[in-house]
A and B are shown apart, each in its own frame.
Chain A
């Protein structure tokens, strides 16, 4: 053995012991989830490209219901704007010279419950490091959170009173796959710089400035009634953590992904089976977060038949969970009865990018 080899051996021997098996399988599942979501949204992304310089005659007859790119969209004014329905990003443009896709003009927009759309140019879309910067809406749609480059901070805005609070954060801390969630009333903000990695997440009290660091392997699902719902994709560990701290993770089989928020019964969520995410007839599984038991499965009927992706979110009422659905027509929201599996259409959003709905931790779905 050469002395160089011996010295390299000595350095290699300092490598820490690792066990990356579960993390690798969990990462694979997370990537599959993202890939499936991206595939479902790919048509939306391509079709959604505005044709600034290239004519796409086959497109004109089939314009998506939203957004209307031709209308002049006003900037988000101060003061009372009203409760928000959703937010989205405008698409990139396909340009002829130089041939390619131009994303310089992409911006965030918000849509109120009354149907008015506003530009939010102050909300950062991409960081200097080219990572996506998400926005978030509280469950009740009253609060909107975004990152402001000018302020170098997250801005939490009450859309009814217009009051704003800033939470300082250097832009470079927004990593690839960052996530954001905001509570009703805007008091709590969850920021995860890089979902599902060792980079710790933060629960921030916007009133006191107190920051609670969270194990980075957990990623946020939502904040509801003073409880932050986290998920860790190794097995499926669900952790309902009161904002004051505490709570214990409950473990389920690792195949469950995309859980809803806690049901009105206070003890169950519904999730989808990651192995079954694009089945012709998706299945929702009821998970009991008090006992850790896997409950009944519900086959969902009434969705379009084009095998889109299904993603449970808020509860609409005691028996129906809201489910995002992305298929050929873009995103839509359905209410699914967890007793019968029957889905009814609530709203169509069309082919928009980064659709952000109230109550969701944003940043995972395309």
Chain B
């Protein structure tokens, strides 16, 4: 048994799910790959401890979000670089929503974007989101409120997504 066997199983099982989170955070396939790879390098170094504690996925997800925020704080001309597909690629309403949402997400600050991904895609609670971001629940509430308000301003055409009653409930 190789000392990396447990890590191998974890990566093979979870890398695609983690990649989707990374992609939602960065909006760019290459950056998402770089982000996830750099986090997995940290994870393999601490695998023995993480496996013992039984929380490698939670640690990895937390590291992913925090690494993303840290990258965005550095001056990196590539970020944000939402690689927006050609509008003509698809004309159905859902596809248009995705295109507009990608563009709008690219204009959010890193923490606001992370909050949107964690709360509305990962379906984390406020407490869980606060744990991942290492901040208070109050801060999560405020970031969520501001992120949604900014999305509404940037992309009023997304009102039908953002004014959903369930979202209003979440932000109440």
Instruction: Give the interface segment out of A7-15, A244-252, A323-331.
Output: A7-15
Q: In the complex, which residues 1-26 of chain B have their Cβ closer than 8 Å to any Cβ of chain A?
A: 4, 7-8, 11-12, 15-16, 19-24
A4 with B36: in contact, given A11-B102, A21-B8, A27-B41 (CB under 8 Å)? no
Residue in contact with A9 in the complex, picked from B32, B121, B160, CB distance below 8 Å = B121
Chain B residues whose CB sits within 8 angstroms of the CB of A7 once the complex forms = 94, 97-98, 101, 161
Quick check: which of B62-70, B130-138, B162-170 contacts chain A, the rest being far away? B162-170
Query: Are B32 and A15 interface neighbours, CB within 8 A?
Result: yes
Q: Does B156 have its Cβ within 8 Å of any Cβ on chain A? A: no
**What is the predominant secondary structure among interface residues of chain B facing chain A?**
helix
- Of chain B, the residue at the smallest CB distance from A5 is B120
**B19 adjacent to A15 (CB under 8 Å):** yes
Q: Counting CB contacts under 8 A, is B172 at the interface?
A: no
- List the A residue with the shortest CB-CB distance to B39: A24
CB within 8 Å for A198 and B30 given contacts A7-B94, A11-B102, A21-B8: yes
Q: Taking CB as reference atom, which chain A residue is nearest B47?
A: A28
Within the assembled complex, what's the spacing in Å between the Cα atoms of A8 and B105? 10
Closest B residue to A27 by beta carbon equals B41
Say yes or no: is A23 at the interface (Cβ < 8 Å to chain B).
Answer: yes
Nearest CB on A from B30, distance (A) = 7
Asked if B160 contacts A3 (CB within 8 A), the reply is yes
Contact with A along B31-44 (1 / 0, CB 8 A): 01110111011011
Q: If the complex has contacts A7-B94, A20-B36, A24-B11, are A15 and B44 also in contact, measured as CB distance less than 8 A?
A: no
> Are B120 and A10 within 8 A (Cβ)?
no
Please give the distance in Å from B107's CB to the nearest CB on chain A.
15
Enumerate chain B residues within 8 angstroms of A69, measured Cβ to Cβ. Answer: none
Q: Chain B residues with Cβ under 8 A from A3's Cβ?
A: 97, 160-161, 164
CB A170 to nearest CB in B, in angstroms, measures 12
Q: Check if B167 sits within 8 Å of A16, measured CB to CB.
A: no
Known contacts: A4-B161, A25-B4, A31-B45. The answer to whether A16 contacts B120 by CB under 8 A is: no
Q: Are B23 and A11 in contact (CB under 8 A)?
A: yes
Q: Is A19 an interface residue (CB 8 A)?
A: yes
State whether the Cβ of B115 lies closer than 8 Å to any Cβ in chain A.
Answer: no
- A11 with B24: CB separation less than 8 A: yes
A13 to B162, CA, bound (A): 20
Which of the residues B19, B24, B32, B37 comes within 8 Å of A8, measured between beta carbons? B24
Find the B residue at minimum CB distance from A16.
Answer: B29
On whether the beta carbons of B164 and A2 are closer than 8 Å, the reply is: yes
**In angstroms, how far is the closest chain A Cβ from the Cβ of B79?**
14
Docked complex Cα distance between A20 and B11 (Å):
8
Q: Is A6 an interface residue (CB 8 A)?
A: yes
Which residues of chain A are near B24, meaning CB under 8 Å?
8, 11-12, 15
Q: Bound complex: CA of A3 vs CA of B164, how far in Å?
A: 7
Say whether A10 contacts B94, CB under 8 Å. yes
Chain A contacts for B7, CB-based, 8 A: 24-25
In the complex, the answer to whether B20 meets A15 with C-beta atoms within 8 Å is yes
The answer for the CA separation of A4 and B101 in the assembled complex, in Å, is: 9
Residues on B with C-beta less than 8 A from A23 are 37, 40
Contacts of A18 in B (CB 8 A): 15-16, 19, 33, 36
A11 to B8, CA, bound (A): 27
CB contacts (< 8 Å) of A14 on chain B: these are 23
Q: How far is the CA of A233 from the CA of B78 in the complex (A)?
A: 26
Interface residues of B in 115-148 (CB under 8 A from A): 116-117, 120-121, 123
Q: Is the CB of B20 within 8 A of A24?
A: no
Residue in A closest to B160 when the chains form the complex, CB atoms: A3
Task: State whether A8 and B101 are in contact (beta carbons under 8 Å apart), knowing that A15-B22, A18-B15, A21-B11 are contacts in the complex.
Answer: yes
**Residues of A that sit less than 8 Å from B by CB:** 2-21, 23-25, 27-28, 31-32, 129, 197-198
Known: A31-B41, A198-B30. 15 other contacts (CB 8 A): A7-B161, A11-B23, A12-B20, A12-B23, A13-B20, A15-B23, A15-B32, A16-B33, A19-B15, A20-B11, A20-B37, A21-B12, A25-B4, A27-B38, A198-B34
Write 15 A-B pairs (CB below 8 A) sorted by A numbering: A4-B161, A7-B94, A8-B117, A10-B98, A12-B20, A12-B23, A14-B23, A18-B33, A20-B11, A20-B15, A20-B19, A20-B37, A24-B40, A31-B45, A129-B75
Sorted nearest first, the 9 A-B pairs with minimum C-beta distance are A15-B23, A24-B40, A27-B41, A12-B20, A8-B121, A28-B44, A4-B161, A10-B98, A15-B20
